[in-house]
Structure 1
Amino acid sequence: MWEGVTDIFSQITLIDIIDIALVAFLFYRMTLLIRGTRAIQLLKGLLVLLVAMVISDRLELRSINWLLTQIMTIGIVAIPIVFQPELRRALEQLGRGKFFGEGIFSSNQGDEREATIKEVKKSIKVLQTRKIGALIVIERETGLNDIVETGIKINGEISAELLINIFMPLSPLHDGALVINNNLIKAGGCYLPLTEKPNLGKELGTRHRAAIGITENSDAISLIVSEETGAISLAENGKLSRYLDEDELESFLIKLWGGNEERSKSFWHWRLGN
């Protein structure tokens, strides 16, 4: 047996290793692309059907196996239609040079994010003082183009003045969520999925539930300013931290999104550690 294994490994060349590594990397990037989106649930459904088809074939359940085979055939044909948003997002990122890694063609991403965090902090402070409700979603690895498409595209450079004006009462975009990525406001007035957690406090309204909901479906960070109390909250990984001040908010954003080595840590793991 060991001789057969040795023979197999002896036939592997450097080109084969590079080939396998490239395929693995492509699958990894595709997984990041659909992680946290509805596509991952569809993939799980296809996987369940595939397992059921194999089991029915082994048990010789011919009728069930035939039915599952037909469903799988239809599913494979429908994949390009079902995954159309994800495929379009992949092609867009490939064209922008972001598919193979965030920031490949940008060396000053960390500086841009630091400046963005400063502008967000300034705007949050003003919104808190005036008790103006706000909901800001910060996009990280998981693409939020499906959310952006529900709102009005802006694609404007982030500034505290622009952020404040967007959320001013009677503004056309003040009721929805604002989506930002790096140093750009991608869209405003966006609709977010609401969390279905049953144990949330009654004092939390739609804005807070939407902020939690988007972080359950993606790795995004949500910032909330309460219209009633002016309290600042942050949602990450489906969990909500309330009653932050602007300095504490800035520290959290630097850790979670600032581009340093610790930004990939869980918000709650970092916070408990401090």
Structure 2
Amino acid sequence: METANFFDNISTSFVITSIIDILIIWYVFYLILTVIKGTKAVQLIKGIFFIIIGRAISNFLDLTTTTQLFDMVLQWGFLAVIVIFQPELRRALEQLGRGSLFRSGAAGDASEHEKMRQDMVTAVRYMAKRRIGALIVLEKETGLKDYIETGVPLNAEITSQLLINIFIPNTPLHDGAMIIQGDKIATAGSYLPLSESNKIAKDLGTRHRAAVGISEVTDAFTIIVSEETGNVSVTYDSKLSKEITLEKLEELLQKHWMVTAGSKEGGGLFARK
């Protein structure tokens, strides 16, 4: 009887407003998850979830001191997030003022991403044919800031001409790694950790050993063009794939090159600079 009365008291307007309320919240969360995918914010959110879970467990086990510690971390953590993401938050407010915070532009992004992949393949084809050595690292979820800081900052648009020019022999930036963040060339001439694995063939040079080294400590995807043979190789998940075709390279780029809206200027709350 009470259940019947409960449903009788629910008006149509209440149901409609509740559905609209849920859809708005769902859409906001969807946008946030979309723009932070592949950025450093992902690791931050994972850390927050671990803290929340740890707080719940300590509270369940009645660990008073530990619970208070987690509460303190959560309280001060909010201020830390504001400080860490201050540039992103400021840019998000500017975008909100321009009405561009929730702009999708997915179709345009898809064509731009395809163009960047084609520029990458074109540059690799050119360098492989002329045996121009190259080492290109594509950042994924694990940040590469420590290695970016060892090179020359560029923050440049990705074009085949620029990719080729940077690796022309006897130029200042050709000897080192290029690191790409999203849709930007972040740096060139960066130093990478060399792998000490005995599985790497002795005839492979420093570029291949550096590419394997970065794949051992991060989830980055790396392209290598051999200066001696012109062969194209890639590394990811601590694995080296040698002498791949350009068709295979394009297929791997579609899988591993995480060009998201969050990495583009005006792409959302956590957009990179």
Provide the TM-score with structure 2 as the length reference: 0.64
CA shift, 1:94, in A, is 6.3
Partner of 2:205: none
Count of matched residue positions in the alignment of Structure 1 and Structure 2:
248
Partner of 1:264: none
Structure with larger Rg: 2
> What are the superposed Cα offsets for residues 78-107 of structure 1, whole Å, 9 maximum, x if unpaired?
221234465467568768987546535xx5
2:21 to 19, 22, 37: 19
- Supply the distance in 1 between the matched residues of 2:172 and 2:230 (Cα, whole angstroms): 21
CA shift, 1:167, in A, is 1.0
Partner of 1:51: 53
**Structure 1 pair 112–46 and aligned structure 2 pair: CA distance change class (3 A):** closer
- Supply the distance in 2 between the matched residues of 1:88 and 1:213 (Cα, whole angstroms): 32
1:64 to 43, 63, 66: 66
> What are the superposed Cα offsets for residues 48-71 of structure 1, whole Å, 9 maximum, x if unpaired?
332333333344332332233223
Paired AA for residue 209 in structure 2: G
Provide the TM-score with structure 1 as the length reference: 0.64
Conserved in 2, the CA contact under 8 Å of 1:192 and 1:213?
A: no
**Structure 1 pair 251–72 and aligned structure 2 pair: CA distance change class (3 A):** closer
- Bigger Cα displacement from structure 2, 90-99 vs 22-31: 90-99
Conserved in 1, the CA contact under 8 Å of 2:131 and 2:228?
A: yes
* 1:86-125 alignment, distance < 5 Å: 87=89, 100=102, 103-104=105-106, 108-125=108-125
Partner of 1:210: 214
> What are the superposed Cα offsets for residues 116-155 of structure 1, whole Å, 9 maximum, x if unpaired?
4443333212211333222335679x79896997452353
- Bigger Cα displacement from structure 2, 143-152 vs 117-126: 143-152
Q: Percent identity?
A: 32
The CA RMSD over aligned residues, in Å, is 4.6
Structure 2: stretches of 5+ with no match in the other structure: 202-207, 260-273
| Matched residue SS, 1:152 | strand
Partner of 1:265: none
- Which one has more relative contact order, counting CA pairs under 8 Å at least 6 apart? 2
> What are the superposed Cα offsets for residues 180-216 of structure 1, whole Å, 9 maximum, x if unpaired?
766xx544317588699x97842441134436766x2
